[in-house]
Structure 1
């Protein structure tokens, strides 16, 4: 068997496992899991930068650049989603009342 077929099989199986795992998570656990996922995506971004930086092959550089862009977008998007979810649980400050006649 070729290495490409093995990697494609691993990728497809990991997609199915990821979908099954994520769909079973209750909504109260999403915020802590997002924080953990953000840490993992930071490590993935660092790894993509290191591997891409040490490569001389053009194909590896292109795939590495794509990996860096996708990991960065995923990392930033995770922080944005986590921030929005945490804002749902924070208390809103009461609006200041303006004095009449001023």
Structure 2
């Protein structure tokens, strides 16, 4: 295992742990507005996937990019669906 890979895995592990701690402290009433804000972040992830696709040279890299693109797109679509449902609760009924 190369030192660069070890550093990348360390940063990834720490970001997962910190993210879990931060999100677990948020009250349930704030999760939907946070999901709306996360749409922009996952949109940036998708742009990063497209930029990284230019530098990939092997099948493993394409596999990881495909997984990242799938999860980023799923989060964007899910976030918009949740936001639309939340906003629908505030529309006046006919």
Taking structure 1 as the reference length, what is the TM-score of the superposition? 0.74
Alignment deviations for residues 29-58 of structure 1 (CA, whole Å, 9 cap, x no partner): 333322210011011111101211342333
Alignment deviations for residues 51-102 of structure 1 (CA, whole Å, 9 cap, x no partner): 1134233322221122111111111111111212222233322xxxxxxxxx
Query: What SS class does the counterpart of residue 25 from structure 1 fall into?
Result: coil
For 1:49 and 1:68, locate their aligned partners in 2 and report how far apart those are by CA, in whole Å: 8
Name structure 2 gaps, 5 residues minimum.
none
Q: Residues 89, 27 of structure 1: CA spacing in aligned structure 2 closer, same or farther, 3 A cutoff? A: farther
Query: What SS class does the counterpart of residue 89 from structure 1 fall into?
Result: coil
| Aligned partners of 1:55 and 1:61 also within 8 Å | yes
The aligned counterpart of 2:79 is 78
* Counterpart mapping for 1:8-23 below 5 A: 8-23=9-24
Larger radius of gyration: 1
* Counterpart mapping for 1:1-102 below 5 A: 2-93=3-94
Name structure 1 gaps, 5 residues minimum.
94-102
Which gives a bigger RCO, structure 1 or 2 (Cα 8 Å, sep 6+)? 2
Taking structure 2 as the reference length, what is the TM-score of the superposition? 0.79
For 2:36 and 2:68, locate their aligned partners in 1 and report how far apart those are by CA, in whole Å: 21
